[in-house]
Amino acid sequence: MKENKTKVSILVVNYNNAIYLDECLESMFKQSYEHKEVIFLDDSSKDNSQEILKKYKNSIKIVEKNYPKKNIPSHDQL
Indicate whether 64 pLDDT > 70.
Answer: yes
Dump pLDDT digits (tens) for 19-54.
Answer: 999 999 999 999 899 899 999 998 888 999 999 998
Higher pLDDT among residues 6 and 68, named by residue = 6
Q: Is 16 left (phi over 0), alpha (psi -120 to 50) or beta?
A: left
Distance CA 60, CA 51 (A): 14
**H-helix segments, 1-78:** 18-29, 49-54
What are the distances in angstroms from CA 4 to CA 7, 34, 46, 59? Answer: 9, 10, 40, 21
Question: What pLDDT shows up at residue 26?
Answer: 93
